[in-house]
Amino acid sequence: MRAVCVIGLGLIGGSILRAATAAGRQAWGATASAADEAAAAADGYAVEDVAAALRRAAAEDALVVLAVPLPSVVSVLRTVAEHAPRARLTDAVSVKQPVIDAVSHHAPFARYVGGHPMAGAAASGWAAGSSTLFHGAAWVVSAVDGTDIEVWSDVARLALDAGAHVVATDPAEHDAAVARISHLPHVLAAVLAAVGADAGPLPLALAAGSFGDGTRVAGSNPELVRAMCEGNGAALLPVLDDALGRLGAARGALASTGSLAATLREGHRGRRQLDGARAAEVRELRLDLTAPDAMAALRRTGTVGGRIVAIDTSTLTAEIPTCDHFRSP
Amino acid sequence: MRAVCVIGLGLIGGSILRAATAAGRQAWGATASAADEAAAAADGYAVEDVAAALRRAAAEDALVVLAVPLPSVVSVLRTVAEHAPRARLTDAVSVKQPVIDAVSHHAPFARYVGGHPMAGAAASGWAAGSSTLFHGAAWVVSAVDGTDIEVWSDVARLALDAGAHVVATDPAEHDAAVARISHLPHVLAAVLAAVGADAGPLPLALAAGSFGDGTRVAGSNPELVRAMCEGNGAALLPVLDDALGRLGAARGALASTGSLAATLREGHRGRRQLDGARAAEVRELRLDLTAPDAMAALRRTGTVGGRIVAIDTSTLTAEIPTCDHFRSP
């Protein structure tokens, strides 16, 4: 099993280091945070300074995982270029195209395959992590033509070892998707929390489940949320426009006809589609990673909502939804 | 303990009937739903037809609770006017001013005090209810000048018997508050669910906690949500405008400066205020229900986020937040 070097030991990086270690791999980490460094070392994990960790990764041909917020990516990539220029490299950043651009500028010889484990928690930092954070979660691995198949497999195996399933996507398709289901929810939660808290104590005294659920992620560290959402600004803008259009249509319908029927019906259908997608029957698909069009075939599995659940030498097993769960229930 | 007659045996009415019975009261119900009627009877509860239930309420001077959706209120009030015209009357409808108007038109001699237990669940109908649904919940009781103190106490005692605490409010203030913390969350959840589901299977395959939480209430029965939100349309419109303004400001800031700092900071502050309100230290306040300005004093306790936790003959005990939890943390 390939060794793993994790740069950044917050919630995500700290959980990756724990999960890789728990899977029996050689794994070590580094972080610019003195607090996370001390906490990880106190828990018995191998922590070095960033340059040393990367030199060791180069010497041992380890997979380097960048688990830092987007604003820190460029400076870490410069260090990668200095100490492990041809590293097997992936990341855990919540947006993919800006990281691809940064790698091509600042670590152009790195063998990079983008990653994004879709798990989180309201709390942040090493102490909030766990080896089981990714159990049952989706872990996106970018599938781009010309990708080094060996590194792609390294990343996918790490995700599977961590208990996740792999979703193979085109980076732009990923960024558009997470704008919808991760970044928009954070913006709407912030708007809802501000509207609810802006009219004195009574509304908050009456707040129950719908407000609590709808504002939960507004409790997350706002600087981390900001880096995540702003880093995907190009994909988030049209999604905000979509939401504004729908909210404006709801407002207009309520004002003119007194009806919210269309808004609530479409929302209910959307939520049932989410439930349907999670409960969908699947068929198994086997893919040969060494086929010339392997990356295109992988991207297609992601587009249709499929997930990769096993990898065996050069053959992948994907689960593809079979029933027509995506149609209106 | 005063007997209780519950009209409507869905989630809320069914839970009130169970809670009143569990508290040792004489309690019976009626419903236009054959399914709910059969389910309640099968569970051993006393169920009659609506007219008979109301005649019994008149004979026993029971408290009548209307637990039907707003669109059904007028027709039930006409039956109340026919069979129990001077009944002690409350309701569990999620909006108050329209019910006040309907009572004054259709059951003008009823001794009405508005109520709104702030609890719910994604499922609906008798089977979804429980005697503990209101434990720890807020149960709004309208405090309007000229209210019959005895009936006000009847309603408050029922709420306390059900394990809730009472929040005394002006009806218009209630309607404005629930537009913010109950009806807006449903509209935003519908918008989010539709945006998330409208771009094919990939976004839903990647959806994790933030999307799941933010769309949960979109899984509720859309007809019930519609009746609730549309019934409070007058108060909901300015709240939708508030949300549209904030979402538009977020969009504008992201497009022009690339920053979502203000939006996310205000949202985080709002969520912390919710958490602060729930954890606030309180002082006890005793109020004499027979004082000439009792209703005004009760409304003030609601406005500042207070809750009534006990009632003893004509003296109430309210808990009033003392620390400055509502300021920015």
Residue A320, judged by CB atoms within 10 A of its CB (0-12, 13-18, 19+), counts as middle
Percent of chain B past pLDDT 90, that is, above it, reads 92
Residue in A192, A204, A261 nearest the CB of B305: A204
pLDDT tens digits, A135-164: 999 999 999 999 999 999 999 999 999 999
| pLDDT at residue B81, rounded to an integer | 98
Residue among B162, B146, B130, B156 at smallest CA distance from B40: B130
Cβ contact, residue pair A176, B199, below 8 Å = yes
| pLDDT at residue B29, rounded to an integer | 98
Residue B304, judged by CB atoms within 10 A of its CB (0-12, 13-18, 19+), counts as middle
From CA B156, how far away is CA A203, in angstroms rounded? Answer: 20
Residue A329 has pLDDT above 60, yes or no: no
pLDDT tens digits, B39-75: 999 999 999 999 999 999 999 999 999 999 999 999 9
Q: Which two tokens stand for residue B292?
A: 């000439």
The overall average pLDDT reported for chain B is 95
Q: In chain A, which ranges are continuous DSSP H helix? A: 11-22, 34-42, 50-60, 70-83, 97-106, 149-161, 171-178, 184-197, 201-206, 209-215, 222-231, 233-257, 261-279, 294-303
From CA A246, how far away is CA A224, in angstroms rounded? Answer: 27
Whether residue B126 contacts residue B42, with contact meaning beta carbons closer than 8 Å, is answered with no
Cβ contact, residue pair A302, B202, below 8 Å = yes
Average pLDDT over residues A302-313: 94
From CA A197, how far away is CA A220, in angstroms rounded? Answer: 17
Number of A to B CB contacts under 8 A, please give it.
Answer: 383
Residue in A194, A226, A274 nearest the CB of B260: A226
Average pLDDT over residues A205-221: 94
Chain A residue numbers touching B239 (CB-CB < 8 A): 195
Whether residue A76 contacts residue A33, with contact meaning beta carbons closer than 8 Å, is answered with no
Which DSSP symbol is given to A324?
Answer: -
Residue B6 CA: distances (Å) to CA of A151, A177, B12, B47, B53? 66, 47, 10, 9, 8
Mutate to test the interface with B, among A95, A183, A204 (most CBs of B within 10 A): A204
Which range has the worst mean pLDDT, A197-201, B313-317, B323-327? B323-327
Render B88-112 in DSSP notation, one character per residue: EEEE--S-SHHHHHHHHHH-TTSEE
Cβ contact, residue pair A206, B138, below 8 Å = yes
| pLDDT at residue A328, rounded to an integer | 41
Residue A287 has pLDDT above 60, yes or no: yes
Residue A216 has pLDDT above 60, yes or no: yes
| pLDDT at residue B323, rounded to an integer | 65
From CA B298, how far away is CA A312, in angstroms rounded? Answer: 69
Confidence of residue A313 (pLDDT cuts 50, 70, 90): confident
Residue A201 has pLDDT above 80, yes or no: yes
Residue A325 has pLDDT above 60, yes or no: no
Relative to beta strand A315-321, strand B27-30 is: unpaired
Residue in B119, B190, B269 nearest the CB of A267: B190
Percent of chain B past pLDDT 70, that is, above it, reads 98
pLDDT tens digits, A1-42: 999 999 999 999 999 999 999 999 999 999 999 999 999 999
| pLDDT at residue B329, rounded to an integer | 38
| pLDDT at residue A121, rounded to an integer | 76
Residue B328 has pLDDT above 60, yes or no: no
Residue with token string 């000048």:
B145
| pLDDT at residue B278, rounded to an integer | 86
Confidence of residue B314 (pLDDT cuts 50, 70, 90): confident
Structure ipTM over 0.90, yes or no: yes
Mutate to test the interface with B, among A174, A215, A327 (most CBs of B within 10 A): A215
Percent of chain A past pLDDT 90, that is, above it, reads 92
From CA B50, how far away is CA B121, in angstroms rounded? Answer: 25
Residue A137 CA: distances (Å) to CA of A326, B208, B300? 20, 8, 48
Chain A residue numbers touching B186 (CB-CB < 8 A): 210, 264
| pLDDT at residue B82, rounded to an integer | 98
The pTM (predicted TM-score) of the whole model is 0.92
Cβ contact, residue pair B194, A266, below 8 Å = yes
Query: A61 CA to chain B: closest CA distance, Å?
Result: 31
Residue among B188, B262, B251, B260 at smallest CA distance from A228: B260
Task: List, in order, residues 6 or more apart from A324 with CB less than 8 Å away.
Answer: none
Residue in B180, B206, B214 nearest the CB of A189: B214
Cβ contact, residue pair B270, A226, below 8 Å = no
Cβ contact, residue pair B267, A198, below 8 Å = no
Query: B28 CA to chain A: closest CA distance, Å?
Result: 28
A137 to chain B: nearest residue by CA? Answer: B208
Q: Which two tokens stand for residue B86?
A: 């001077």
| pLDDT at residue B313, rounded to an integer | 84
Query: A11 CA to chain B: closest CA distance, Å?
Result: 15
Residue A53 CA: distances (Å) to CA of A20, A58, B106? 16, 9, 78
From CA B32, how far away is CA B54, in angstroms rounded? Answer: 14
Residue A289 has pLDDT above 70, yes or no: yes
Vertex B222: Cα angle to B219 and B225 (nearest 5): 100
| pLDDT at residue A322, rounded to an integer | 85
pLDDT tens digits, A156-189: 999 999 999 999 999 999 999 999 999 999 999 9
Average pLDDT over residues B122-130: 91
- Return the exposure string of B70-84: e unless at least 16 CB atoms fall within 10 Å of the residue's CB, then b: bebbbebbebbbebb
Average pLDDT over residues A291-317: 94
Residue B182 CA: distances (Å) to CA of A138, A277, B201, B292? 31, 27, 29, 33
**SS3 of residue B314 by DSSP:** coil
Higher pLDDT, A192 or B122: A192
